[in-house]
């Protein structure tokens, strides 16, 4: 019987303090991005300049942990060289892997830096082993991050039919749409996750106190309206309240977070290689809390999957940092669909 | 300049679908894309039925293309995909990289790179051309200026198809928003989207039409309409895609043909199309702006 390596815990590092706290609290890997449109969390005040990235890599490597670079937006003809320059810098800095979505960039990376490990980003929208194996055969990708659309049985089927390591989202903001295939933000604001690296970008957001309540708008479009005492959420457009056939409700998804802690033994059984925690846009305090809980859970799982149970204290801790203090199993759980 | 009819994105009763395509046999459309691209639970028409429609249209002189499903989730989705790739009667539109892999493996050298493949730069497009793509259906999100730049970066041109008319397919999910609206789950959806001819309009709490629910697909509420932009659009493409709508699709096709043939000006054609549109127009994506905008260049 082959012994599987333990599941890696992949934590978000939106800043150097977040990176350090993730490493200090037990992340096996952190993922980060440059301060520009080459990554899908291109928000003001986030991400790394070259000096910070060097420092972060040194900090992680000194503790035998890995640093993954997300270059997971799609370059265009006019700005192609910014993305290839980022790949060249990554090779020079000694990052442990690149997380890419664009096939053209993968071809560039595989040819120019054949020693560099490649992961397929969730933005690549590969939901089947046929798609994942395409990237493996052509560019030698060694890991793929699955979009949050498959049930557990479907994830298992992907793993059984691909030589590529599979990473899944375990916790954090839940993208309701297939990542890399969503133009809702571009439709409302002109800026898209695919090309600009941001969904529902802050510069288009407006909060307005009105006689009807607090209103949140995205580029002028009313996303939600909150009664007195109700906490006004960020106007991410798929998590707003809208009218459909005269009924007002969260027509696409409630503001809630994905939390798969209770699925851990199943995820281990089907052979996932890594668990990703979402949230590079969140604070170091969030990273600390979430990393601590997931480290404890993965250690407990490693000690014996048969005796694994989810501690109520873990759930309480995670719910505190969840959107709307609520959580869901998302598509892993069929009835959610 | 060719006119193409995109795949039917809605779920209509079987006879409505058959009547719809029979009615287009003598319309001035050059290519017709067939097949279910949105939801694997939709099967008023089986693959064999689509073949029959395809042969009828081919006999009427149309080029027929079979489109593959955009979001592949299960082994049975892959089985359907393999059947489409293996057939040799019609060209195939690949809508995910799994389809691209299977086409390459089968040695097919003449397929269409679909609008959901995330092609945003000449390097990626060239890679697909080298793999056998001979037509590229551009993602609606791409602006005219980006398209021009991208095409200029290719070693040799590829036939390019622009999404010129129809509600914009904006997103796909594992979740069915139509079922959710009726408090049902996708697995037991009772096929509630059947016979909702143009999807369900989602409005803001100010009553403004914003999006359209079409099962697992989310579309714009507005109709993307490039009739008014035709001179610039034809400078950068060889095929225009019109997406089927519940009524008057043939009239829209005829209007595009008239505008392309110079029988009417772009401005007149846009004005005339208002009579056949299911909602207000928008063209922001083409101009590099928010897609929802109806932008008139100064």
Q: Let me know if residue B84 belongs to a domain.
A: yes
Q: Does the pLDDT of residue B86 top 80, yes or no?
A: yes
Q: Which residue, among B32, B27, B4, has the nearest Cα to B165 in the 3D structure?
A: B4
Instruction: Provide the shortest C-alpha distance from residue A123 to chain B (in Å).
Output: 10
- Mean per-residue pLDDT, B62-91: 97
B41 HSE (CA, 13 A, CB side): 19
- Which distant-in-sequence residues (6+ apart) come within 8 Å of B10 by Cβ? B193, B196, B197, B198, B199, B214, B244, B246
pLDDT at B236: 97
- Mean per-residue pLDDT, B244-267: 96
CATH topology of domain A8-174+256-332: TIM Barrel (3.20.20)
Q: Does the pLDDT of residue B98 top 60, yes or no?
A: yes
pLDDT at A288: 97
Q: Measured in Å, how far apart are chain A's first and last C-alpha atoms?
A: 36
pLDDT at A333: 84
- pLDDT one-digit tens code per residue, A201-243: 999 999 999 999 999 999 999 999 999 888 888 899 999 999 9
ipTM: 0.97
Q: Does the pLDDT of residue A132 top 70, yes or no?
A: yes
| Residue B31 belongs to domain spanning | 2-168+222-279
Instruction: Provide the shortest C-alpha distance from residue B263 to chain A (in Å).
Output: 32
- Mean per-residue pLDDT, A84-103: 96
Q: Residues of A at the annotated binding site for [4Fe-4S] cluster?
A: 175, 182, 199, 238
Distance, CA of A175 to CA of A154 (rounded, Å): 18
pLDDT band at A2 (very low <50, low <70, confident <90, very high): low
- pLDDT one-digit tens code per residue, A53-87: 999 999 999 999 999 999 999 999 889 999 999 99
Q: Does the pLDDT of residue A1 top 60, yes or no?
A: no
Instruction: Between B288 and A44, name the one with better pLDDT.
Output: B288
pLDDT at A325: 77
| Chain A residues inside the 8 Å CB shell of B221 | none
- pLDDT one-digit tens code per residue, A268-301: 999 999 999 999 989 999 999 999 999 999 999 9
- Mean per-residue pLDDT, A142-166: 96
| Chain A residues inside the 8 Å CB shell of B99 | 130
Contact A148 B174 (CB under 8 A): yes
pLDDT band at B235 (very low <50, low <70, confident <90, very high): very high
- Cβ contact B33:B114 at 8 Å: no
- Mean per-residue pLDDT, B43-60: 97
Instruction: Provide the shortest C-alpha distance from residue A23 to chain B (in Å).
Output: 33
Q: Does the pLDDT of residue B50 top 80, yes or no?
A: yes
pLDDT at A219: 97
pLDDT at A175: 87
Mean pLDDT across chain B = 97
Q: Which two tokens stand for residue B287?
A: 């101009």
- State the CATH number of the domain containing residue B51: 3.20.20.70
Total number of domains in chain B: 1
CATH 3.20.20.380 segments of chain A: 8-174+256-332
Q: Does the pLDDT of residue A46 top 60, yes or no?
A: yes
| Chain B residues inside the 8 Å CB shell of A124 | 97, 118
Lowest-pLDDT range of A169-178, A318-327, B55-64:
A318-327
Q: How many other CB atoms sit within 10 Å of the CB of residue B100?
A: 27
Q: Let me know if residue B287 belongs to a domain.
A: no
Q: Does the pLDDT of residue A15 top 90, yes or no?
A: yes
State the best of A73, A76, A77, A133 to mutate against chain B, taking most chain B CBs within 10 Å.
A77
Interface of A with B in 153-172 (CB under 8 A): 154, 157
Contact A177 B78 (CB under 8 A): no
- pLDDT one-digit tens code per residue, B100-135: 999 999 999 999 999 999 999 999 999 999 999 999
Q: Residues of A at the annotated binding site?
A: 175, 182, 199, 238
Q: How far is CA B151 from its chain centroid? A: 21
């Amino acid at each position: 019987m082959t012994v599987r390596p333990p599941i890696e815990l992949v934590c978000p590092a939106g800043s150097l303090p977040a990176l350090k706290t993730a490493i200090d609290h037990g992340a096996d890997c952190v993922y980060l991005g440059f301060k520009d449109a080459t990554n899908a969390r291109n928000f003001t005040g986030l991400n790394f300049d070259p000096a910070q990235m060097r420092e972060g890599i040194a900090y992680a490597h000194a503790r035998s942990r890995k640093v993954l670079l997300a270059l997971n937006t799609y370059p265009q003809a006019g700005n192609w060289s910014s993305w290839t320059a980022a790949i060249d810098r990554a090779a020079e800095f000694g990052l442990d892997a690149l997380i890419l979505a664009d096939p053209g960039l993968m071809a560039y990376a595989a040819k120019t830096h054949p020693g560099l490990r490649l992961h397929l980003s969730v933005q690549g929208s590969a939901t089947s082993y046929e798609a994942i194996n395409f990237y493996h055969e052509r560019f030698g990708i060694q890991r793929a991050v699955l979009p949050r659309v498959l049930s557990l049985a479907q994830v298992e089927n992907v793993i059984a039919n691909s030589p590529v390591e599979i990473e899944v989202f375990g916790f954090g903001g839940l993208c309701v749409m297939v990542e890399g295939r969503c133009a809702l933000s571009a439709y409302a604001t002109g800026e898209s996750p695919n090309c600009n690296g941001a969904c529902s970008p802050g510069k288009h957001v407006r909060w307005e106190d009105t006689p009807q309540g607090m209103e949140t708008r995205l580029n002028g479009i009313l996303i939600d309206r909150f009664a007195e005492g109700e906490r006004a959420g960020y106007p991410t457009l798929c998590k707003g309240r809208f009218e459909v056939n005269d009924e007002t409700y969260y027509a696409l998804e409630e503001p809630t977070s994905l939390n798969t802690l209770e699925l851990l033994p199943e995820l281990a059984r089907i052979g996932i290689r890594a668990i990703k925690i979402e949230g590079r846009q969140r604070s170091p305090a969030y990273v600390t809390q979430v990393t601590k809980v997931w480290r404890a859970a993965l250690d407990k799982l490693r000690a014996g999957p048969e005796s694994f149970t989810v501690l109520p204290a873990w759930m309480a801790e995670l719910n505190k940092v969840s959107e709307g203090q609520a959580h869901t199993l998302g598509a892993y759980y069929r009835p959610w669909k | 300049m060719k006119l193409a009819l995109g795949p039917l994105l809605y779920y209509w009763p079987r006879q409505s679908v058959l009547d719809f395509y029979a009615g287009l046999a003598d319309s001035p459309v050059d290519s017709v894309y067939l097949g279910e691209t949105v939801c694997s639970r939709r099967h008023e028409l089986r693959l064999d039925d689509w073949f029959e429609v395809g042969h009828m249209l081919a006999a009427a002189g149309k080029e027929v293309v079979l489109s593959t499903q955009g979001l592949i989730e299960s082994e049975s989705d892959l089985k359907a995909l393999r059947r489409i790739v293996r057939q040799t009667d019609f060209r195939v539109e690949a809508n995910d990289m799994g389809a691209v892999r299977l086409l390459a493996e089968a040695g097919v050298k003449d397929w269409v790179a679909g609008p959901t493949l995330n092609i945003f730069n000449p390097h990626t497009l060239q890679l697909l051309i080298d793999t056998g793509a001979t037509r590229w259906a551009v993602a609606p999100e791409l602006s005219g200026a980006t398209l021009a730049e991208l095409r200029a970066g290719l070693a040799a041109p590829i036939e390019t198809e622009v999404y010129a008319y129809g509600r914009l397919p904006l997103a796909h999910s594992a979740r069915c928003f139509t079922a959710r609206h009726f408090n049902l789950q996708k697995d037991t959806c009772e096929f509630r989207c059947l016979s909702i001819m143009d999807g369900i309009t989602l409005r803001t709490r100010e009553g403004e039409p914003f999006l359209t629910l079409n099962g697992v697909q989310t579309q714009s509420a507005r109709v993307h309409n490039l009739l008014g932009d035709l001179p610039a659009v034809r400078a950068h493409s060889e095929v225009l895609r019109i997406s089927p709508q519940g009524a008057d699709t043939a009239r829209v096709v005829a209007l595009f043909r008239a505008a392309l043939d110079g029988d009417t000006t772009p401005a007149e054609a846009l004005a005339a199309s208002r009579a056949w549109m299911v909602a207000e127009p928008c063209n922001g994506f083409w101009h590099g702006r928010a897609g929802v905008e109806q932008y008139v260049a100064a």
